[in-house]
Amino acid sequence: MMIFRALWRFLLLLLHTLYGVWLSLTIHKRRAPDGVEFPDPRPVARWSARLLEILGVEVTVHGEIPEDTGLVVANHVSWLDIPVLNSLTGAAFLSKNSIRYWPVIGWFAVASGTLFIRRGNHEARRISDAIATRLREGRRMAIFPEGTTSDGREVRRFFPRLFGAAIDAGAPVIPMALCYVADGKRDSLVPYTRGRSFLRILFGILARKRSEVHVCFSGVIPSTERDRRSLADEARQAIMDNLQSLSGIDDT
């Protein structure tokens, strides 16, 4: 049964990927109040939501999803974080520059308004300025301030530099806590940590009946009269508080 489920979902995944290629070529632009055009986030968000359905990932939202345009920040557990976050907020992301040239994934990333970052001494400043510009244009942007993934049991210290984009744009920060669950316990399959294989995680998800992710929102954090470090610390604390508020989940 597990083999047939995995094969059927894999076929649907291939077809959905092809649809993503077509979408990346036909996606429309939306016009910001100042006349700047940017990719319409709604088709991409719908594509992400359908992807989660194909993978059997059930999303449970706690709290209200803010309507504000702002900088979405989340703890980072898995590559699944990206479609989960995008399906709920429509936010665009940061990505390493090499992704731009990947077949299918790169095309889709470009079409959805992804910002690409290269290694270099002045790159963080450029990216922060680019994020601030997107926020002023009325686009939600998303970052994972830990800079790497964890196993979901902890929230690493947040790097504060990119929080300067929210301050420069006068945009709020939107904390978003992610918690993956399997059989009432923290999910040990989905974390994309060092030594874990993307394909092993993918086929494990395809084979099992369902996966669960709890997503917690707790309003927004104004960026006015704050520095980058205090803003990062407040967002991290909000995410940790939300994760601790989830009851009935075994951390063992």
- Give 198-229 pLDDT, tens digit per residue: 889 999 999 999 999 999 998 999 998 889 99
Instruction: Indicate the pLDDT class of residue 175, thresholds 50, 70 and 90.
Output: very high
* The pLDDT of residue 197: 87
Among 108-117, 143-152, 242-251, name the most confident range.
143-152
- pLDDT bucket at 168, cuts 50 / 70 / 90: very high
Where residue 208 falls (left for φ over 0; alpha for ψ -120 to 50; beta otherwise) is beta
What is the pTM for the complete model shown? 0.89
For the chain, what is the mean pLDDT?
Answer: 87
Q: Which amino acid is at 123?
A: E
Give the pLDDT band of residue 127 (cuts 50, 70, 90). confident
Pairing of strands 37-39, 29-31: antiparallel
The CATH fold assigned to 2-245 is Glycerol-3-phosphate (1)-acyltransferase (3.40.1130)
For 122, the 3-state DSSP assignment is coil
| Residue 171 burial class via C-beta count within 10 angstroms: exposed 0-12, middle 13-18, buried 19 and up | buried
Question: What is the per-residue pLDDT across 96-109, written as a single tens digit (0 to 9) for each?
Answer: 777 777 666 676 67
Residue 251 clears pLDDT 60, i.e. is over it: yes
Q: Is pLDDT of 36 > 60? A: no
Outline where 56-121 has alpha helix (H): 81-89, 105-111
Over range 153-163, report the average pLDDT.
92
